[in-house]
Every structure is written in C-alpha cells, then in structure tokens.
C-alpha cells in the first residue's frame, strides 16, 4: 500500500495575541505544604497563584478535610487536572532535571502531526548513525521497509531510540528536529526544557522539568494519535524476512509487569531511564469522569520501581482530594498555543509519495498555517489527515 499527497495552497491570516496582565499576590502562610487553606468566605474559588510553582519544596493548598499529600522521594513531581490544567500539588515543579525518554512526549507532539502512519519507508544505514551506547532499541534493520505507524509503536512501547532517529530523518534530520521540538516547547509555555537529543538520551545541557513534562502529557492526550499510541500495551513489530515479533510497553504501571500492579484507569503516557536522569515517568489516569496527569522525576528511595509506586500514591491522592484543594498554578499558564511545524514538507516524505489515485486512502483535509520558529522565522505548516477506506 502506498500513499499520495495532494496539496492546496490556503492563505492563513495572522492572529494577534493580546497579553493580559498577571497580578502576582503574595502567598499566605496557609498556602504552604500541608496546611489547610479555608479559602474566602462563601466558598468562592480564588484564582490560582502561578508564583507558587516557582517556590522550592511542596506546594499545596488544602481545604479543611482534604487528605495530606503523600510522602514521596522524587526530586520533583506534579499532580494536575488534565482537563482544566489546574495543578493540584507540586514539589519543585520547575526544577530543571534530565528527562530521559519522557522527552519523547515532546518529540511525538512535534513530529506526529506531519507524518501520517501509513507512509512506508526503507531505512538507510545513515539514519541509524549516532545512536547512543546503551540506548533502548526496538530492532530496526537497515534496508527493511517499515510503516511510520510501526516506528511510532517502537517509540511509545519500546522507547526505541532507533525509531526516533529514523522518524527524525524523515522530518529534516536530527538537529532540525531538536530545533522544532524547542519551538514546540516554547509554544506550549514550557520554558524549562532545553532539547539537545530528541530521543531523550543524556546530552550536556538537556533538561526539562516536572511542570513542562506534565504540559507535554496533557497536550498529548488531546492528540488522538498520541493518546492511542501511549495507551497501547503490546503490538507486533516487523522483523527480518517478513516475520514479526511482539513488543510490550515498558510502562509497568500500564502493563503490570515485573511485580508492579497495574493502575486502574491508567491511560499512558511515557516512562524513561538513564543513569544521569534516574527513573522518570509521566502518567495519566481517568476515574469518575476526571483525568489526572502526574510527573515523577528521579525518586531517591525504593529502587527502580519506586517511580511507579510514587506515581500511584500521587494519583490516588489526586483523585481522593478532588474538590478539596485549591490550585497552586496551571499547566495552561503559557497561554494559547500557536500552530507549529516544519518549514516545509520534508523531502523524504515527498519522495515517499506514490500515485495520488491509490484507492486505498483518501485525503480528508489539509490545513496550512503560519507559526514562528524563532527570531523572525516563519514556517509553513502542513497538517495532513488521511482516512483509510480499504485494507491492504
């Protein structure tokens, strides 16, 4: 099965963003960790105080009768409502730390919209160059042809750095992808993140924060492809000579592997580990119509599975505290997100396009927008959506 693209020039208009005034209020003593904040008379919900998230230590505003936050050992963590963006509690939310493979959430947000899953690509040897020693791999073979959807399974389930390298090559190369990821982070209001290696492999100067990773996780849940991939437990991956082998998600809170109990209602998102970053995790769960997103970075106690157990305790607390805490900040404080994307349809994608008359796929829409990618830079954004109308 091959896929063709038809393009239409659509002129977009520029939208002027009007910046609002943010009034910073001194935090009351009751806003400190563990002390109930009864709120104003009449039970009115006060505005969140974003400045609290830049303070060191645990930040939470408990109403009377609210459960106390659990004692966890992670260097940094965040519990937030994925729908409203309210941060319910946090510890050193903006502390800049190595993210490991949780940075793949930002990679997916940046690259997924411009690479339809049905594209087939034959892997070249140079696309597998530069993979860091000890990287997690899904087993991509030079000269083998893969669907883009297979590569995304490799990214989300196996955390395959080889899959990231191939996908990055399809969208302009390693450095260009890192630059687009940086622009995407800024567009989302995530200002703690500095991208050096798109796969999350340790690199000098590469950092993120529990706050930024929660922003990426929340944004990912709003992308149907991202949400579908991050929730997969297992998949088949193409092997040599037409054979396929099973791969399984390494997020043990989702799968229940290695003695970790799966979390009820978990819907993804991404775990990570390097020797420098320690264990990191962005997790989201849904219960009684409410979705929470939690970030846990580098637990200091409890071994390799502590990241899952600490995320579990924070999720439990977040659901139990529903309606009984006041927000200490917001994941939406970065403001409206402009469109972003590559400067043009990558040559590798254009080269992969076959006849537009292939009856197996139908193009259902193309949106062309404008987004800034740096000082004075303007990029053309192609959003392509294809619907499969017959099986191959």
Is residue 340 within 8 Å of residue 374, measured between CB atoms? no
Strands 244-248 and 266-274: unpaired
The position carrying tokens 């939470």 is 60
159 carries an active-site annotation: yes
Is residue 182 within 8 Å of residue 207, measured between CB atoms? no
Which residue, among 380, 384, 353, 379, has the nearest Cα to 367 in the 3D structure? 384
Active-site residue, selected from the candidate residues 76, 101, 169, 209: 101
232 carries an active-site annotation: no
- Alpha carbon distance 285, 290 (integer Å): 8
Active-site residue, selected from the candidate residues 51, 73, 84, 104: 104
104 carries an active-site annotation: yes
* Size (the chain), residues: 392
Active-site residue, selected from the candidate residues 76, 136, 159, 330: 159
Structure tokens at 325: 């805490």
- Alpha carbon distance 2, 130 (integer Å): 29
- Alpha carbon distance 266, 291 (integer Å): 9
How many CB atoms neighbour CB 350 within 10 A?
11
Q: CB within 8 A of 240, min separation 6: which ones? A: 141, 144
Is residue 21 within 8 Å of residue 301, measured between CB atoms? no
- Report, as residue numbers or ranges, the catalytic residues: 101, 104, 159
């Amino acid at each position: 099965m091959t896929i063709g693209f038809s393009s239409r020039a659509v002129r977009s208009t520029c939208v002027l963003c009007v910046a609002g005034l943010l009034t910073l209020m001194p935090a009351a003593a009751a806003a400190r960790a563990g002390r109930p904040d009864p709120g104003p008379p009449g039970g009115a919900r006060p505005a969140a105080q974003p400045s609290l998230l830049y303070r060191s230590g645990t930040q939470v505003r408990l109403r009377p009768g609210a459960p106390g936050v659990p004692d966890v050992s992670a260097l940094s963590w965040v519990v937030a409502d994925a729908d409203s963006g309210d941060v319910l509690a946090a510890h050193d939310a903006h502390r800049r730390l190595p993210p490991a493979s949780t940075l793949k959430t930002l990679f997916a947000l940046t690259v997924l919209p411009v690479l339809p899953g049905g594209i087939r690509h034959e892997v070249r040897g140079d696309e597998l160059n530069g993979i860091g020693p000890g990287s997690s791999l899904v087993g991509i073979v030079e000269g083998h042809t893969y669907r883009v959807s297979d590569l995304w399974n490799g990214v989300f389930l196996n955390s395959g750095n080889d899959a990231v390298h191939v996908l990055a090559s399809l969208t302009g190369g390693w450095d260009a992808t890192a630059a687009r990821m940086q622009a995407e982070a800024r567009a989302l209001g995530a200002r703690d993140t500095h991208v050096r290696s798109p796969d999350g492999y340790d690199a000098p100067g590469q950092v993120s924060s529990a706050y930024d990773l929660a922003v990426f996780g929340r944004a990912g849940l709003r992308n149907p492809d991202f949400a579908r991939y991050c929730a997969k437990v297992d998949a088949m991956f193409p092997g040599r000579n037409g054979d396929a082998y099973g791969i399984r998600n390494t997020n043990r809170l989702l799968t229940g592997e290695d003695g970790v109990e799966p979390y009820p209602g978990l819907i993804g998102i991404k775990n990570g580990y390097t020797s420098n970053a320690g264990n990191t995790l962005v997790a989201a769960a849904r219960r009684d119509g409410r979705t929470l997103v939690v970030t846990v970075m580098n637990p200091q106690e409890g071994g390799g599975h502590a990241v899952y157990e600490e995320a579990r305790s924070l999720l439990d607390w977040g659901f139990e505290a529903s309606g009984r805490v006041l927000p200490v900040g917001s994941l939406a404080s970065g403001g409206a997100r402009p469109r972003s994307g590559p400067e043009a349809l990558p040559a590798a994608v254009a080269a992969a396009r076959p006849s537009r008359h292939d009856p197996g796929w139908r193009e259902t829409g193309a949106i062309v927008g404008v987004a800034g990618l740096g000082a004075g830079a303007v990029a053309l954004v192609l959003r392509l959506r294809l619907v499969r109308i017959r099986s191959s």
